[in-house]
Every structure is written in C-alpha cells, then in structure tokens.
Chain A
Amino acid sequence: EAQVTQNPRYLITVTGKKLTVTCSQNMNHEYMSWYRQDPGLGLRQIYYSMNVEVTDKGDVPEGYKVSRKEKRNFPLILESPSPNQTSLYFCASSPQGCGELFFGEGSRLTVL
C-alpha cells in the first residue's frame, strides 16, 4: 500500500530534550516536505527536499533541522524543543514537487 508513515504519532516532551520525528514514504517520490498546522494559521512549510542530499528552508524553519540521506526518509529534528513548537506536524511527499501532495497521518507534539 502506497503511504507516508510518520512516527511517533503523539509525543509529550520537555523543553530542551532533543527529539526526532521520522517520515518514510514507499512511493519513490523525489519531493518530501514538513508542515506544521496551528489553529488559524493553516499549514506552514518548515523544510522541503527536492531529492537526496538536497534540502531547503520553508517559511518557518527556525528551531528545526532535516536531513535527506535516503530517498524514502526525511526526518525532522528538534535539537532543543521549546513550547512554541507545540503543534501538529505533517510530512508529505509528491513525485516531483508539483502536483498532488501525499500526507502522513500527522504527529502531535507537545513541549512542556
């Protein structure tokens, strides 16, 4: 089954404790992206990647890191999480960065 898989789906952590949200897709898509969803703000792009070893900042990259060592994986790293990073995070992929985005199920992160 074609899908985008994120883990963990839910996480409560404390300020400053490094965490990684994994994202994996099995559709051989070149483009992958991370979004955060906050009430009234829609989906804001954090980082995106057009291909392996190619990443670029979205609109709200501060406090986040990403890597794209393999085509299928695009982890989101919060080196020192802060409460303003409490949000619902979505990973998405598409064949070539244009056209339909396929979203993961979302990861709800709470930073205390």
Chain B
Amino acid sequence: GENVEQHPSTLSVQEGDSAVIKCTYSDSASNYFPWYKQELGKRPQLIIDIRSNVGEKKDQRIAVTLNKTAKHFSLHITETQPEDSAVYFCAASKEVSSASKIIFGSGTRLSIRP
C-alpha cells in the first residue's frame, strides 16, 4: 500500500525567512496531494493541494511542487510569520470513483522565531 514519508519532523525558522517541508510517496498511482495545517489544539485544515497533472501551485505565500518521476512533493512557505507556527501534514491519495484511502505523513512541527 501507499506510504508517505515527511521530513523534517521539526523545523525552526526566523520570521521572514522561508520554510520547506518535503514528502515522498511510494504508490506511483497516487494523483492527489493535499497539505493540512493544524494549529495547537485545533483540527487539521486544508491549506493547499495539488493534482498530478500540474507541477506547481501557488497561493499567496504558500506553494507546493510535485515531482512525479521522483515521487516527491514539497511545501514552500515564504516570508514566514508567527501565525505560520503549526504542525503541517502532507498526504497522498488516488482519486477514484470508488473507495479511497488518504495516507498522511507523520507531520512537521514548524516554529517561527521572532
């Protein structure tokens, strides 16, 4: 089955700097890759996603890149701010009309230093 590995497990960056979180997946049939942000004590919420027919997607300070050949995808946060401090999860799944399993990475705890 699918396996998703996420690195690093913790990341500390200076406010204003960029942060990069990387994930690799094992199932070449996976075609949907969402990223979720979980603030302390809160529920995970989708911040950006990418499908396998594109290589990059941006939304303001957040971008995700996908390399299908290498089976890895990354989250990039530029000009980091204190409110970016959270745990980030990547995930991979196959978007099919029938049963769907969404496999999450183990999470990255991002801390923004003032």
A residues lining the B interface (CB < 8 Å)? 31, 33, 35, 40-45, 48, 50, 56, 58-59, 90, 96-101, 103-106
Given A100-B34, A100-B49, A103-B43, are A40 and B9 also a contact pair (CB < 8 Å)? yes
Partner of A50, one of B46, B100, B103: B100
Q: Does B73 contact A (CB under 8 A)?
A: no
Inter-chain residue pair count (beta carbon < 8 A): 62
Q: Which residues of B contact A (CB under 8 A)?
A: 1, 6, 9, 32, 34, 36, 42-46, 49, 89, 91, 93, 95-107
**If the complex has contacts A40-B106, A42-B89, are A98 and B43 also in contact, measured as CB distance less than 8 A?**
no
Cα-based distance from A106 to B40 in the complex (angstroms): 12
The answer to whether A90 and B95 have CB atoms under 8 Å apart is: no
A48-B101, A50-B100, A103-B45 are contacts. A98–B93 as well, Cβ < 8 Å?
A: yes
Once bound together, how far apart are the Cα atoms of A42 and B102, in whole Å?
A: 12
